[in-house]
Structures are given as C-alpha cells and as structure tokens.
Amino acid sequence: MSTNVLLLGSGGREHAIAWKLAQSPDLGALTSAPGNAGTAQYGENLDALDIDNPQAVVEAAASVRADLVVIGPEAPLARGVADALTAEGVPVFGPSMSAAEIEWSKAFAKELMAEAGIATGRAAMFEDFDMAVAFAHSRGGSCVVKADGLAAGKGVVVCDTTDEAIAAIEASMMDRAFGDAGARVLIEERLHGPETSAHAFTDGTTVAHMPFSCDHKPVFDGDEGPNTGGMGVYSPPGWLTDDDASRIEREVTERAVAALAASGREYRGALYPGMMLTSSGPKVIEFNCRLGDPEAEALLPRLTSDLLAICDGVAHGRLAEVPVEWDDDATVGVVMASGGYPGSYETGQPITGVEDVDEDVQVFLAGARLDADGTLQTAGGRVLCVVAKAPTLGEARERAYDNVRRIDFEGAHYRTDIAAPARVASGQGL
Ligand code: AMP
Ligand code: GLY
C-alpha cells in the first residue's frame, strides 16, 4: 500500500516532516505546497498554491491524488482547509477550524481552560480601548498584552510599566498592527518561571504524548532583543520533573482534548500547549494547533516510529492502533537567520557549506530556495536549523555548533547559547 501525501507549509518544520515521512516504506509521492528547498528533496513543490484557500487546496489534493494531507502551519487550519478536505472525503492531519480555535482565539482558549479546569494565568478580554487602558493602570503596568487572534507570533507584549502596556494596547487596538486579530486584546497576569513546549499527537480520543522540548524565542543571546518565531531548541529538558511532566500531560493536554471532544470539536492533529512552570505549578501560556517550529525539528529526529502511519492513524481516528515511540537521545537545534531578522532583511544571499555538514547532522531548510542555476540561497528570515542528536545534551550541543560554523551566508546570525549548560540545568535564561 503506498500513500500519496500533500504537505502544506514552507518552514523548517515542514522540511523535518518531509524528511521523516520519507523514511516510511509506505510513502508514495510526496508533494509540498508551497514548500522550500528542503521539501523539494523529497518530491514536487507546488510553490504557487495559496494554502490558505480551502478550495484551491481541495483541487490540488485531487490533482496530486493525495491519500492524506498533512497541514503544518496554523493559518490554513484557521481558514477551514481541514474542513474543506474532510467534506471531500480526503483524510487530513490537522484539526478542523472549530477545534483549531484553541489557537486562533485566545478568548476561546481561556473559556475552554476555565471549563476544563486547566491552569492558566488570570486574564480579562477587552473590546473597548479605554477599559483596557484603565485595567492596565489598575495592574500597575505589570501585565501581558495579547492580541486575541493570530498574529504570526508577534501579538504578545510582556510589560513592566503602564506606559509599555498602553503602547501595546494602542498598537493592537488603535493602530491595528495585527489587523483584525488585534481588535480585541487579552490582558493577562504576568507569570514567572521556565518555559517548555508540550506536544501530543491526537485523533480526538487517543493522546500520544511527545517528549518535551524548549524553544528560545528572543533573537539575541541571554534572551535579549525582540521575540522571533524561535532561534533554537533542545529536547529533553532535564530540569522538568517527572511530576510536572505528567501533570502537564494529564491536566492540560488530555483535559483539553477531552473538553474539545465534549463540545463537538473533535481534535485531530498535533496539539501543543506552551507551558510556564510557575511557583504554583505548571500554567498554560498559549495553545497551538500544530507542531512548533523549531520544536518539530528537535522532536522528529527522536521519533523511532513511522510518522506516516501516525499521521494516517490520526486522520482516520485510529491512533490507538499505531505505535508512537521515541528514543532517549538528546537533540539541539540552532537556527541561522538572515541579517536584520526579526526586522526587515534581504533575501537572495547564496548559502554555502550545507554539503560540509556531518552525515548524521540534519540541516532543516526554512527560508531557503534554489535559484535557476540550482544554487541554494536565502529566501526568508529564519533560513535553516542545524540539528544534532547525541546521548547527552552537551554532546548534541557541541556537534550542532561545530556544524553551524561550516555554514555561511551574508548577514547570517545565530544565538550561541542554545541549550547552554546553565539554561539546561535550570530551564531559565543565563
Ligand atoms: P506567545 O507568542 O504566546 O508564545 O508568547 C511569547 C512569549 O511571551 C512566551 O514564550 C513567554 O515568554 C511570554 N509570555 C506570554 N504570556 C506570558 C505571561 N502570562 N507571563 C509572562 N510571560 C508571558
Ligand atoms: N516555536 C514556537 C511556535 O512554533 O509557536
């Protein structure tokens, strides 16, 4: 039996998914849309497909005779691409629009957590600018201002002062920095503690937890500078206690899946709660309806089972029949970004040295394309993620950086403290 797959997305996450799917003996043709230079190693890229357009995706799935569509990013999920495919009888890995609301509406996520008894920061939602500002004043400025809808990872501002909070509320509600996504803002209490990403595969009933991992969001060493999509990752976090890990699995992920199912929003795909380990226990920072990026790049190399069988099991509601196993190794992923990212940056810079990387080290390409002559060049902010695996985090880290140093492009920058010893020991910054 061979399964043709249409994979949606164009990040390092999608290259990692393609790489892992390609290890399955049951994979037929793999088509990616829009894809990147990484996914192109495994099959055709439909680079002109608008993956946020449900009808266009349905037509593309038919034209490549897809037996399964795997949706990487959140935007197509929020637009109902999974629903449109399901309506046509095409199996999908990725939740329906109503189940994905757990990511695309922070208001919905908060209501669900309140009903299901899932621990999260106290928060209030505002549609009125003056009331939001008055509330920020009453908190003395220490709060977190979040756009309600999807804002490509940029809609969250952690504030220390009332001025900062007001500026964040103004940017979201008045200047519409995130479009309609910021018309409503959530003002949340500021939490403290180390962060970890929890991930699970689920078909709405069975939940298969993945190992934990840790992203590094700020652009510069020591967690300085603005937040990015993620500059590096490691797995597992040795500082996370078994007790906290199991509380997150039972009291967050499994409760959320059950609460969604109980409200008729059966969840099929990857569910990823971002967690903060506070002095009063693990609390949810946000829910994501997909695999994290760069978390996927650090997790999938640890998966010893067949990813195609897992995605297929999720899509058909038969995850319970599929093995989902992980090795005990550690992985470290270091992202190399374009000069200027997360602000404006140039693209089209030739990338050298990828072929010099050790055979057992993965270079997952993100904003990278092949030009007409077949030269690899930059095409985005996060360009690639170098991932090394070893029995210990220390060795994985050393090998990741040893290989990063062989790759270069004009303006390239990366953090030098991904999985640094102090961070790995405590989960906190340096
Ligand atoms: P998000 O875009 O929701 O992942 O948030 C980006 C970052 O903002 C998180 O990784 C946290 O470091 C920080 N953050 C979000 N919510 C809170 C909170 N309630 N308290 C403190 N930091 C937060
Ligand atoms: N690495 C953060 C995210 O994917 O949302």
Ligand 2 atom 3: residue of nearest CA: 292
Mean pLDDT of all residues belonging to the chain = 95
Q: pLDDT per residue over 198-255, tens digit each?
A: 999 999 999 999 999 999 999 999 999 988 999 999 999 999 999 999 999 999 999 9
Annotate 166-191 with b (16+ C-beta within 10 A) or e (fewer).
bebbebbbeeebbeebbebbbbbeeb
| 163, pLDDT greater than 70 | yes
What percentage of the chain exceeds 70 in pLDDT?
100
What distance in angstroms lies between residue 200's CA and the mean position of ligand 2's atoms?
A: 14
What distance in angstroms lies between residue 66's CA and the mean position of ligand 1's atoms?
A: 37
Give which of 266, 294, 118, 125 is closest to 199, Cα–Cα: 294
Q: pLDDT per residue over 22-79, tens digit each?
A: 999 999 999 999 999 999 999 999 999 999 999 999 999 999 999 999 999 999 999 9
What distance in angstroms lies between residue 294's CA and the mean position of ligand 2's atoms?
A: 7
Q: Which residues have CB under 8 Å from 192's CB, separation 6+?
A: 276, 278, 279
Average pLDDT for residues 112-126, to the nearest whole number?
A: 95
Average pLDDT for residues 154-180, to the nearest whole number?
A: 87
Q: Tell the residue number behind the tokens 């009125």, with chain if given.
A: 128
Chain centroid to CA 277: how far? 19
Average pLDDT for residues 159-171, to the nearest whole number?
A: 89
On the CB side of 330, CA atoms within 13 Å amount to 20
d(CA 134, CA 124): 12
Contacts 24+ apart (CB under 8 A), 125-134: 125/184, 125/185, 125/186, 126/169, 126/173, 126/184, 126/185, 126/186, 126/187, 127/183, 127/184, 129/169, 129/170, 129/173, 129/174, 132/169, 132/173, 132/185, 132/187, 133/166, 133/169
Average pLDDT for residues 82-99, to the nearest whole number?
A: 98
d(CA 41, CA 32): 10
Q: Tell the residue number behind the tokens 């490549």, with chain if given.
A: 64
Judge contact between 152 and 179, C-beta under 8 A. Answer: no
| 257, pLDDT greater than 90 | yes
Mutate to test the pocket of ligand 2, among 13, 106, 195, 293 (most ligand atoms within 8 A of CB): 293
Take residue 102 and report the two structure tokens written for it: 């757990």
Q: Which residues have CB under 8 Å from 379's CB, separation 6+?
A: 36, 37, 347, 348, 367, 368, 369
What is the structure's pLDDT at 430?
Answer: 56
d(CA 361, CA 341): 25
What is the structure's pLDDT at 115?
Answer: 97
Q: pLDDT per residue over 336-376, tens digit each?
A: 999 999 999 999 999 999 999 999 999 999 999 999 888 99
d(CA 158, CA 172): 14
What is the structure's pLDDT at 85?
Answer: 98
Q: pLDDT per residue over 365-417, tens digit each?
A: 999 999 988 899 999 999 999 999 999 999 999 999 999 999 999 999 999 99
What distance in angstroms lies between residue 372's CA and the mean position of ligand 2's atoms?
A: 32
* Lining residues, ligand 1, CB within 6 Å: 121, 144, 153, 156, 158, 188, 190-191, 195, 217, 227, 274, 285-286
Judge contact between 37 and 365, C-beta under 8 A. Answer: yes
Judge contact between 349 and 233, C-beta under 8 A. Answer: no
* Lining residues, ligand 2, CB within 6 Å: 153, 215, 230, 288, 292-293, 295
> In angstroms, how far is the first alpha carbon of the chain from the final one?
50
d(CA 206, CA 321): 10
Average pLDDT for residues 82-107, to the nearest whole number?
A: 97
What is the structure's pLDDT at 182?
Answer: 80
d(CA 13, CA 27): 18
Flag whether the pTM goes above 0.85. Answer: yes
In angstroms and rounded to an integer, the radius of gyration of the C-alpha atoms of the chain is: 21
Chain centroid to CA 45: how far? 21
d(CA 379, CA 360): 25
